Structures are given as structure tokens and as C-alpha cells.
């Protein structure tokens, strides 16, 4: 069993202490990537639920070398786990007992026998699942002593839902957003005691989304739902003034919502047109980074309020994380990508791309269904994206292969969707692809349906445009696309009452390789002017089956002649597929009267049927079997995320399921047979012509599992048994770690080799750039002094 498709952006990632590795929460595992190459190095597997937080706690200076490769993770399984991520080994577990949604570990010391001892304390945001779902306060903030593995102190706060916890770089302050209030706690870091923690609240007129603490000054920034950024300076000067931890007589809610509260001043900045998703101060505190739905990183100068931008990241932004190496940072995007940025110019060096997430837009309404195309031979899935592309994703390697731009159109994340890809279909050998994109009408005017044919390039997942047909069925929508096996022919069915057969025509003297062929309409067919709702070819391509609402019609594709009509189904048919080389045809109806029916084509009769709320179905190309993804409840009865389902495997002649598997998030999912690895097939005797066949299930969140349909193992979308893991390359040291590799110069034979030649004015290049990107003095001074010295080769006497 192979799993993949997990979200890379469900939680903010974390850099290792040396900045060479990036730890990212991916489902039930933590994936460790190389910050220089973006390749997967290792995985941490041990959680039974989704991982929600990863923290590389800053170790004491004396133990930095020993603890530099250790981290803590938290998950919805209610455990905190301590890892040696360099060796990918689990060290210990701390049980919380409730789902943990967020965690921070400040750098806290505790006095023991007169000496300060570093003691890790975890501040966690949990969900109290013992309370009913309609309970107002289900979120709790707790403190855990990670050394003793138990909770200490009382609850810090109770909230409606678990909130994201943010800690200052020094560990002195913690904060959360709760509706229109900002809760800030001061943590005694020198001699920690839970009863000495103090709290203030800062109020606002709008709901707050995120916050960030200044690294050295008592400044906190917060972003609200309207795009405003609030900067409170000198917060807590009244409440936090006592160094002995004594309580102040001032109320923690001092000041009204339009005042400053317990702060000296409050400044408001506004650039974002919608809610602010993240805020982050630079390491020297001179700049503030912000991001949101616009897909733009805004860099604010804290003293002046001036700003500059990093635009065109292509997707709404979720989080921003800086590295101990000041030349690298990363930003997480809503399209399941993590970009590694070269600071300070924020150039994208590498991208870690997962499978694109489902499209969700309220203005599409019910006209859009999540569609997938599967490349059986190359084991790829084609997923339409919000920015009018088709992403080809390798299901066995869990990596992005390519992206094909379907519509040449600028994409703005904050705009309403006015165009989407409604269909994508690939031939069984992957040589051709067909897409249908729909432009939505504005005030019932200007709608457009476009059919496009694509030819495969030199490698799998690479396609170039061959033919564009505008409104191929007048103003009617296209219901299905199917390719004929073994021939360059395709069929498109239309809700307007006809279907068209398309063939590829070759040019006599091609002038360009990309334009040597095109597609044209060979024939048009219809049946009693009924909407044609589905179409498919038989495995040998000799029969074309087209659904005219609830009637199945059979055609000769070469002559376009009607050869037979099968009895009516209960409701309009939405999918047709022949079962391998058998004489059976499967139909799927997804209306208020759902039905899965098996038809005997030679007898023009129904073999058997079931009344199932089926979300998707697929048929094997070599065996007489097919799989159905069925919902366990009415499609409109629950939300998308709550739709559980079951995968049923049938033999065409027998109405009794051969196997069944329970699955989660079935709504919006799909199933398909793929050419699999032989290692997945436990029953080698069931292979056809020595070829293994696997079944893939993609759920509504685009997570997937590949398994052998003839095995009895349970399906779990979690840890993977098949990963392409690259060994980490050694990182640069010394001069190269600060300024990069020097260019290699070819030495001439008549010139003696000189190891190092300093420039005449080296300080002009070493100290160039903004102050917030200069390396620390411990690294900068040795490099500067070394540049002033001249190394001469010692002559052999």
C-alpha cells in the first residue's frame, strides 16, 4: 500500500538549528527536506493522527552541538513526540490525551540547587473533545513539563476553538488571537513558575487573524480580517512592570476598543484588500513581513511605514518562516507549495510542490465537480488547478511532474472565479489529452465553452496544444470526452442533444513539429434530440456507447450508424464504461434516483443493478471487474469533509461485491485502475500477461492511497511505504556559507598558483546590502579580517 497527496501547508514548517534542513508537517508524518535542494531527506513516522506542529527548540549554548538535531512534534492523536530528526528516530512520547492543534516551546530555565537548568515546557492549544459539539468553549491552553511528562499549573485560557499560539523569539511573551481581542502572556524565563505568568488583553474593532512579536522590543503586531495591521508599542508596561511576578492592580482589559489598552501607542497600516494571514518580524526587528490572499509578500519598514513587495507568488499565502541562516526563508502557499526564498531580495530558489488542493469557490455553485484525469501507463493523475492549469502528479513517487497551462489568462487569487476547467481526459496510452474549459457568463451574457486537444511531448506529463475548438456544440455544455483505444479518434457528448466524433488529420508538409497534426469533426450523431450525457468506447474500439439521458445507444464509430439501443435506466446516466474485454457495460446514475447498473451488450438487457449514491466508478482494462466509490449517506445530508464512503469491487457477472473498503472524505473523490508495481500484488497468479494492476483512491482533499485490490489490508491514508528519499549533500562551510561559492578560475601554466588574492577594497563588497541581512558579527568579523590578509605559498627549500 502506498499513500501520498498530503498537504504540505497544514501547519507552519520549521528550520533546523543550522538552517540546512526544513521540517514540514505532512499528514501523519514530518517530512525533512534539504533547504538547498528542496529534496526529501527523511521522514519521521510515529503519530497516529495528523501532525499539527513541529518545533526545533533552541538549545543552550553548551549543548548546542548535541541537541541541534532534536525537535518536538504535536498531533491530533494527543501525543507530543521528541525526535532525533538527523537519525529519524523517536526518542520519547508525552501523552496529552486531547487533540493538540498548536504548540510552542519557549527557551525557559528553572533554578535547581542554585543553578539555572534548561527545562523544556510546552504550551499547547488543545480541543476538549469531552464537551459536546455545541459547547461554546472547546479550546484550552495548557502547560506541560516535557521532562516529567505531565501537565503543570492551571489552564491559561479557554476559547471557542483551539487557537494558534505564537511565541516571541526570546520566549518571554506568548499570544493568541480570540475574536476581537489579543491575549498576551508574560512568561518568567529565568525562574519559571506557572503562577508567575501574567496576562493582558488588547482590543480591536474587527476580528484578528494573526500576530507577531518584535525580537527585541516590547512591540506586538496583529492583522485583522479586513486587511489592517495594528502595531502596539510598549504593551504591558503597566501590567508587566513588576519583575517579581506580583499581580498588578490594573485590570487586564484597561482601555476601550478604540484606545491603546495596556500599550503606549497603537499604529494602523493598511494595504491588504482582505484578511492578513501571517505577520513576521525580521531578525533585527527593522522590518515586518505580511501576506494574505493577494499572493504578495509585503515588507514594511517599521520606523517609517514604507513598504516594498514580492509579487506573483501565484497563490494566497499562509505562513512565513525565517531561518537561523539569515540568507534563507520560506513561505507556504494555499496551493500546497512551499517556496524557499533567498533573502533579502526574496528570490524563489526552490519549491516543494505537493498535489494541488481542491478548488472551492462560492460563485461556482453547483456547476463545478472535482474532475480528475488518469494516465494509466505512466501512473499519473491530472488535476485541474485554480490558475487554469493541469497538474500532472506522479502517484507512486508522490511528486509533481509538470504543469500544463490550459488557459492563457492572468490569475488573481482575490478575484471571483470566472473560468474553470470542467473536463480533462487522457487516452489510455497517454499520447493525447483533451480539456474543456468554461467561461462563466456575466449577467447571463458572454459564456464560452472551449474544447482543446493536446499531443504528448518527449516525456510523460508534457503536452503541447494541437487544436482549439470554440463552442464545439454551439452554446451547449460538454458532458463527456472519450478516446478510442488504438486509433486517433475521440468523441464528445453534449447536453445540447448530439455527440461529435473527432479524428486527427495530418498535414502534408509540416513546417513545425508542434503543428504537424490537428483534430477535425468527422461526424455528428443524435438520438431523438435527447441530451447526450455520457460516452465511452469498448476495449477494442469497435463499439461506441453514448447515453441519451437514461437510454444507452450503441454506434459504429467508423460509419456513425446506430447498431442497438439498450433498455432505459431509472434516471439520466452520468458515466458509461465497458468492463475490460468482457461483453458487459457499466452505467452510473447520480440523480435523486441513483443507480449502478450492469448491462449485457450482446443481449441488449440489464444484468443486475444497485441503488447506490455513487460518487465515482472505474473499470479494469484487462479483467472483468470494476470498482465503485459509494457514499454512505445522501450527498446533500452532510458537509463535504464529513462524507464517509465505501469502495466496492465487483465482478461483472456477479452482483455480490468481491471486496469492500471503508474510506474517509469520499465526497469529491475518485477511483481508478493503474498499471502498478509488482510488489503491491500479493497474488502473483492474478496478474494478466505478467502485468500488475493496482487501484488508486483519491479523496475529496486530494489525498490518495494505492493498493492491491485483491488483498485484504485496511486502507489508511497515513505513512507511506514507498518514498523517493535523497541523501543530503554536505552544506557549504566557512566563507561559502556566508557569501556563496567563489567562481572557479582556470590557472595558466606560466603563472604560479596563488591560493588567495584579496581585493583592493574588500570592505565595499563584504558590507554591501541592507543591515537586516548582514551575518552576525561572529561570522562576519573572521571573514572580514581574513580578507585583509594575503596567503602566500611556502617555497620548498
pLDDT at 546 over 50: yes
3-state helix, strand, coil in the chain (%, to 5): 5, 45, 50
Residue 324 parent element (H or E):
none
Q: Show the beta-strand stretches assigned E in 406-462.
A: 419-426, 432-439, 448-456
Distance from chain centroid for Cα 276: 19
The neighbouring-strand residues paired with 40 are 33
Nearest to 538 by CA among 623, 621, 429: 621
Whole-angstrom CA distances from 208 to 127, 244, 275 are: 20, 31, 9
Neighbours of 185 (CB within 10 A): 21
Q: How confident is the model at residue 682 (pLDDT cuts 50, 70, 90)?
A: very low
pLDDT at 758 over 50: no
Long-range contact list for 786-793, CB < 8 A, 24+ apart? 786/735, 787/758, 787/759, 787/762, 788/758, 788/762, 789/758, 790/756, 790/757, 790/758, 791/755, 791/756, 792/754, 793/752, 793/753, 793/754, 793/755
Residue 249 has pLDDT above 90, yes or no: no
Task: Quote the pLDDT of residue 60.
Answer: 54
**Average pLDDT, whole number, for the chain?**
84
Assess whether pLDDT exceeds 80 at residue 103.
yes
Pick the most confident of 299-303, 446-450, 608-612, 726-730. 299-303
* Cα 539 to Cα 621: distance, rounded to the nearest angstrom: 7
Is the pLDDT at 764 greater than 80, yes or no?
Answer: no
Is residue 65 within a helix (H) or strand (E), and if so which, with residue range? helix 64-67
Amino acid 688: pLDDT: 47
Nearest to 227 by CA among 257, 271, 268, 266: 271
Distance, CA of 543 to CA of 559 (rounded, Å): 11
Q: Retrieve residue 595's grid coordinates.
A: 443507480
> Cell triple for residue 642?
464529513
Q: Is the pLDDT of residue 378 over 60?
A: yes
pLDDT (average), residues 399-416: 82
- Angstrom distance (rounded) from CA 362 to CA 384: 17
Is residue 69 within 8 Å of 150, Cβ to Cβ?
no
Q: Which of 34-38, 132-136, 225-229, 321-325 has the lowest mean pLDDT?
A: 132-136
DSSP labels, 167-230:
E-TTSSEEEEEETTEEEEEE---SS--GGG-EEEEEE-SS-EEEEEE-SSSSEEEEEETTSEEE
**Cβ–Cβ under 8 Å, residues 332 and 322:** no
**Which residues 6+ apart lie within 8 Å of 546 measured at CB?**
491, 493, 499, 525, 527, 532, 534, 535, 552, 553, 555, 576
Residue percentage of the chain with pLDDT more than 70: 79
What grid cell was written down for 32? 525533512
Strands 373-375 and 219-224, by their bridges, are: unpaired
What does the pLDDT read at residue 721?
Answer: 46
Name the residue with cell 510552542: 104
In this structure, the dihedral spanned by the alpha carbons of residues 132, 133, 135 and 141, taken in order and rounded to 10 degrees, is 100
SS3 category, 781: helix
For residue 361, the model assigns a pLDDT of: 59
Cβ neighbours, 10 Å, residue 427: 22
DSSP state of 514: G
Question: Is residue 739 within a helix (H) or strand (E), and if so which, with residue range?
Answer: helix 735-739
User: Residue 3: how many CB atoms within 10 A of its CB?
Assistant: 24
Residues 107, 109, 111: CA angle, nearest 5 degrees: 175
Task: Give the whole-angstrom CA distance, residue 692 versus residue 383.
Answer: 24
Mean pLDDT on 275-294 = 95
In this prediction the pTM is: 0.82
What per-residue confidence (pLDDT) applies to 691? 55
Whether residue 344 has a cis bond before it, omega within 30° of 0: yes
Task: Label residue 454 by pLDDT band (50, 70, 90).
Answer: very high
DSSP E strands, 398-447: 399-405, 419-426, 432-439
Winning range, highest mean pLDDT, from 97-111, 138-152, 440-454, 684-698:
138-152
Instruction: Give the mean pLDDT of 271-294.
Output: 94
How high is the pLDDT of residue 268?
95
| Reported confidence tier of residue 644, pLDDT bands at 50, 70, 90 | confident
Q: Quick count: other Cβ atoms within 10 Å of Cβ 122?
A: 24
**pLDDT above 70 (res 607):** yes
Q: Is the pLDDT of residue 181 over 90?
A: yes
CA-to-CA distance for 636 and 147, rounded, in angstroms? 49
Looking at the DSSP bridge assignments, the partners of residue 139 are 127, 159
User: Exposed e or buried b for every residue in 482-507, given b needs 16+ CB within 10 A?
Assistant: bbbbeebbbbbbbebbbbbbbbbeee
Q: Which residues have a Cβ under 8 Å from the Cβ of 43 and sit 6 or more positions away?
A: 29, 30, 31, 32, 88, 719, 720, 723, 725
Greater pLDDT, 471 or 643: 471
Specify the pLDDT at position 244: 47
What is the pLDDT, as a whole number, of residue 50?
Answer: 94
Computed on alpha carbons and rounded to an integer, the radius of gyration of the chain in Å comes to 31
Looking at residues 271-282, what average pLDDT do you find? 95
Residue 460 has pLDDT above 70, yes or no: yes
DSSP β-bridge partners for residue 600: 584, 605
Query: Which among 74, 82, 98 is positioned nearest to 11, based on CA atoms?
Result: 74
- pLDDT tier, 732 (very low <50, low <70, confident <90, very high otherwise): low
**DSSP secondary structure letters along 625-650:** EEEEEEESS-TTSS-GGG--EEEEEE
Amino acid at each position: 500500500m502506498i499513500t501520498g497527496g498530503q498537504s504540505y501547508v497544514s501547519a507552519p514548517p520549521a528550520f533546523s538549528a543550522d538552517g540546512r534542513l526544513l521540517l514540514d508537517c505532512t499528514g501523519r508524518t514530518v517530512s525533512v527536506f534539504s533547504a538547498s535542494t528542496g529534496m526529501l531527506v527523511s521522514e519521521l513516522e510515529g503519530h497516529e493522527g495528523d501532525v499539527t506542529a513541529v518545533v526545533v527548540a533552541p538549545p543552550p549554548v553548551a549543548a548546542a552541538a548535541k541537541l541541534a538535531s532534536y525537535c518536538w512534534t504535536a498531533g491530533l492523536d494527543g501525543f507530543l513526540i521528541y525526535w532525533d530528526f538527523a537519525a529519524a528516530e523517536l526518542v520519547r512520547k508525552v501523552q496529552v490525551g486531547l487533540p493538540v492543534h498548536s504548540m510552542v516551546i519557549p527557551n525557559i530555565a528553572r533554578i535547581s540547587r542554585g543553578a539555572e537548568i534548561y527545562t523544556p515546557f510546552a504550551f499547547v492549544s488543545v480541543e476538549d473533545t469531552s464537551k459536546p459539539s455545541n459547547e461554546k468553549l472547546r479550546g484550552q491552553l495548557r502547560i506541560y513539563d516535557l521532562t516529567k511528562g505531565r501537565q503543570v499549573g492551571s489552564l491559561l485560557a479557554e476559547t471557542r476553538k483551539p487557537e494558534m499560539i505564537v511565541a516571541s523569539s526570546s520566549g518571554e511573551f506568548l499570544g493568541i488571537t480570540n475574536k476581537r481581542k489579543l491575549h498576551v502572556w508574560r512568561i518568567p524565563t529565568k525562574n519559571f513558575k506557572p503562577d508567575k505568568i501574567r496576562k493582558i488583553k488588547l482590543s480591536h474593532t474587527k476580528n484578528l487573524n494573526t500576530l507577531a512579536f518584535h525580537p527585541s522590543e516590547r512591540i506586538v503586531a496583529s492583522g485583522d480580517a479586513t486587511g489592517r495591521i495594528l502595531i502596539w508599542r510598549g504593551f504591558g508596561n503597566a501590567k508587566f512592570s513588576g519583575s517579581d511576578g506580583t499581580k498588578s492592580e490594573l485590570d487586564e482589559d484597561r482601555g476601550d476598543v478604540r484606545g491603546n489598552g495596556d500599550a503606549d501607542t497603537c499604529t494602523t497600516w493598511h494595504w491588504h484588500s482582505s484578511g492578513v494571514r501571517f505577520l513576521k518580524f525580521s531578525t533585527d526587528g527593522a522590518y515586518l513581513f505580511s501576506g494574505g490572499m493577494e499572493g504578495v509578500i509585503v515588507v514594511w519598514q517599521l520606523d517609517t511605514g514604507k513598504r516594498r513587495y514580492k509579487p506573483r507568488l501565484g497563490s494566497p499565502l499562509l505562513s512565513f518562516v525565517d531561518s537561523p541562516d539569515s540568507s534563507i526563508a520560506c513561505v507556504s502557499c494555499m496551493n500546497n507549495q512551499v517556496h524557499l526564498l533567498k533573502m533579502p531580495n526574496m528570490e524563489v530558489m526552490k519549491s516543494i510542490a505537493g498535489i494541488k488542493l481542491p478548488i472551492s469557490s462560492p460563485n461556482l455553485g453547483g456547476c463545478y465537480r472535482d474532475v480528475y484525469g488518469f494516465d494509466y501507463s505512466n501512473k499519473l493523475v491530472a488535476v485541474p488547478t485554480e490558475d487554469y492549469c493541469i497538474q500532472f502528479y506522479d502517484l507512486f513517487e508522490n511528486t509533481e511532474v509538470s504543469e500544463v497551462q490550459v488557459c492563457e489568462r492572468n490569475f488573481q487569487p482575490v478575484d471571483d472565479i470566472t473560468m474553470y476547467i470542467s473536463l480533462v481526459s487522457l487516452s489510455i496510452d497517454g499520447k493525447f489529452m483533451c480539456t474543456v474549459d468554461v467561461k462563466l457568463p456575466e449577467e447571463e451574457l458572454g459564456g464560452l465553452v472551449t474544447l482543446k486537444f493536446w499531443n504528448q511531448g518527449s516525456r510523460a506529463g508534457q503536452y503541447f496544444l494541437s487544436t482549439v475548438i470554440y463552442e464545439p456544440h454551439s452554446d451547449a455544455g460538454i458532458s463527456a470526452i472519450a478516446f478510442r483505444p488504438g486509433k486517433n479518434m475521440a468523441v464528445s457528448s453534449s447536453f445540447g442533444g448530439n455527440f461529435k466524433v473527432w479524428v486527427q488529420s495530418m498535414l502534408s508538409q509540416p513546417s513545425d513539429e508542434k503543428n504537424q497534426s490537428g483534430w477535425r469533426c468527422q461526424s455528428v450523431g443524435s438520438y431523438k434530440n435527447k441530451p447526450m450525457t455520457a460516452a465511452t468506447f469498448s476495449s477494442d474500439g469497435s463499439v461506441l456507447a453514448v447515453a441519451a439521458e437514461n437510454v444507452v445507444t450503441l454506434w459504429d464509430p467508423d460509419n456513425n450508424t446506430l447498431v442497438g439501443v439498450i433498455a432505459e435506466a431509472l434516471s439520466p446516466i452520468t458515466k458509461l464504461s465497458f468492463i475490460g474485454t468482457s461483453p458487459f457495460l457499466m452505467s452510473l446514475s447520480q440523480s435523486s434516483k441513483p443507480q449502478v447498473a450492469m448491462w449485457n451488450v450482446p443481449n441488449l438487457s440489464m444484468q443486475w443493478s444497485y441503488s447506490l449514491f455513487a460518487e465515482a466508478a472505474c473499470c479494469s482494462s484487462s479483467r472483468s471487474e470494476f470498482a465503485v466509490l459509494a457514499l454512505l449517506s445522501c450527498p446533500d445530508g452532510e458537509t463535504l469533509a464529513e462524507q464517509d464512503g465505501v469502495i466496492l469491487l465487483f465482478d461483472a457477472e456477479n452482483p455480490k461485491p468481491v471486496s469492500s473498503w471503508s474510506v474517509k472524505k469520499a465526497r469529491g473523490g475518485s477511483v481508478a485502475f493503474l498499471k502498478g508495481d509488482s510488489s503491491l500484488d500479493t497474488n502473483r497468479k492474478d496478474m494478466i500477461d505478467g502485468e500488475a494492476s493496482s487501484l488508486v483512491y483519491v479523496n475529496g482533499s486530494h489525498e490518495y492511497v494505492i493498493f492491491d485490490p485483491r488483498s485484504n489490508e485496511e486502507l489508511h491514508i497515513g505513512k507511506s511505504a514507498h518514498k523517493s528519499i535523497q541523501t543530503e549533500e554536505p552544506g557549504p562551510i566557512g566563507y561559502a556559507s556566508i557569501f556563496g561559492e567563489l567562481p572557479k578560475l582556470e590557472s595558466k601554466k606560466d603563472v604560479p598558483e596563488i591560493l588567495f588574492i584579496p581585493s583592493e577594497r574588500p570592505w565595499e563588497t563584504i558590507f554591501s546590502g541592507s543591515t537586516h541581512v548582514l551575518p552576525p558579527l561572529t561570522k562576519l568579523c573572521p571573514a572580514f579580517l581574513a580578507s585583509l590578509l594575503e596567503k602566500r605559498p611556502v617555497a620548498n627549500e
